[in-house]
Amino acid sequence: MTALTWDDTGKRQYEMGTDHGVLYPMTTTGTYGTGVAWNGLTAVTESPDGAEANDMYADNIKYASLRSAEMFGATIEAYTFPDEFIPCDGGAEVTDGVVFGQQSRSKFGFSYRTQIGNDVKQDAGYKLHLVYGATASPSEKSYETINDSPEGMTFSWEIDTDSVSVEGHPELKPVASITIDSTKVDKEKLTALEKKLYGDTTGEPTLPLPGEVYTMMRTELQRKRDVRMLELTVEGELYDESENEFITVEPRIVRFEHSLLSVSKWESIWRKPFLDDEPKNIKETRSYFRCMAIDDISDTELDLIMLNHFSELNHYIESSQTATTINHMSKGRRSSSKVTSELIYYWMFSAGIPAQPCETWHLSRLITLIEIFGVKNSPKKKMSKSDVSKMYREMNARRRAETGSKG
């Protein structure tokens, strides 16, 4: 047992400052465009709203307390702003230097840093703040005469946000803000994320969506939990003959599972057993790859997967993700009944195996677990003479090898 202590050396932390502001304008397709540096950023004041308690009373007592949805808002203050922010502030630059006001306001994403210090080191680390689905409200601008104590005018915008779903993680509610602490996360993962946010010689700065941030930053422990998954980076360019143009797909991580759940989805579409000996045609294989995908994928992305990752997916499907080997002493005749997803579900429930999370395991692992239940619960069979002779031969061979004896 350890007693609590306060104000230990190096643990008197505080936050201050704001820098590295980046604006990510939203495009007409709903994605975030190339990021631009926001110079002159002076302050960001976060002001979440909602999450208010709504008390319920019954039997003359407080029966329960429900909380409303929480919304993220903030105020951005700066001496200046990038030209790309003009549409976000309700302006339209009709020609160089000429801006018409009172226009539709565009959505944008935003990122900035705050510094972490402590009693030992003022720059002990920093926090990255990512903001999604933001819109800026009209703000007051005060222009004053220059006097004997001139000061630069500051701009201020109040922003509201629309939350974004965390793709591939339905257990998490949609989010409008993410905070990453540099003192706690893996340094290599943080560097990879900052290359995304700020760009480098290999790519433009962009704002990754929450699902991608989760995938990039999760720990090795979480990766081990997700070992059943196959992760592929989908990117490339395809020619669309109907539109006579090239379609470019930006790099994105897509996760796949070869599981009972994905097999069940495929069988509901094609209405035949997936696990039969009949080879799958291209349409059926393409359909199963889509059923395997945990993340939503477009037809163009699926085309690239078929072109660039066909063998990887097949290897993953055929792999055995288990360390267990079951030795069958004698093989009887196989059952003539076809194995369907419903039959496997029946085996699961008969053995007391829960659907969650086992229906999302790699199928080879689930089948092995079902076989183990069958072996452990089946009555012991008497060994045949040939099996007994084989067992003794193996035992004698091991003993001779251990002792160096010839007899």
Say yes or no to pLDDT of 228 above 70: no
Say yes or no to pLDDT of 321 above 70: yes
Answer yes or no: do 167 and 202 share one domain.
yes
Mean model confidence pLDDT for the chain: 85
Residue numbers of the domain that contains 361 = 226-324+337-379
The per-residue pLDDT for range 113-169, each reduced to its tens digit, is 999 999 999 899 999 999 999 999 988 888 888 888 888 888 999 999 999 988 867
How many independent structural domains does the chain possess?
2
Rounded-to-integer distance, Cα 21 and Cα 111, Å = 6
Whether 403 is covered by a domain: the verdict is no
**Confidence class for position 400, pLDDT limits 50, 70, 90:** low
Whether 231 is covered by a domain: the verdict is yes
CATH number, domain with residue 114: 2.30.110
Distances (CA, A) of 268 to 114, 273, 288, 340, 406: 51, 10, 11, 11, 62
Whether 332 is covered by a domain: the verdict is no
Whether 400 is covered by a domain: the verdict is no
Answer yes or no: do 271 and 359 share one domain.
yes
Per-residue model confidence (pLDDT) at position 136: 95
The per-residue pLDDT for range 65-85, each reduced to its tens digit, is 888 888 999 999 999 999 999
3-state DSSP: the chain helix, strand, coil percent, rounded to 5? Answer: 30, 30, 40
Whether 399 is covered by a domain: the verdict is no
**Confidence class for position 57, pLDDT limits 50, 70, 90:** confident
Strands 155-161 and 53-58, sheet pairing: unpaired
Answer yes or no: do 364 and 305 share one domain.
yes
Answer yes or no: do 294 and 244 share one domain.
yes
Among 298, 290, 295, CA closest to 269: 290
Answer yes or no: do 201 and 239 share one domain.
no
Strand partners, 45: 75
Rounded-to-integer distance, Cα 257 and Cα 274, Å = 15
Q: What is the 3-state secondary structure (H, E, C) of 85-152?
A: HCHHHCCEEEECCEEECCCCCCCEEEEEEEEEECCCCCCCEEEEEEEEEEEECCCCCCCCCCCCCCCC
Which of 138-152, 268-282, 334-348, 392-406 reaches the highest mean pLDDT?
268-282
Residue 355's H or E segment, with its range, is: helix 355-358
Answer yes or no: do 171 and 75 share one domain.
yes
Residue owning tokens 């808002």: 73
Per-residue model confidence (pLDDT) at position 402: 53
Answer yes or no: do 246 and 182 share one domain.
no
Rounded-to-integer distance, Cα 302 and Cα 287, Å = 9
288 φ, ψ (degrees, to nearest 5): -70, -35
Answer yes or no: do 186 and 80 share one domain.
yes
pTM: 0.58
For residues 372-395, average pLDDT: 70
Cα 404 off chain centre by: 57
Whether 171 is covered by a domain: the verdict is yes
Percentage of the chain lying above the pLDDT 90 cut: 43
Rounded-to-integer distance, Cα 124 and Cα 247, Å = 44
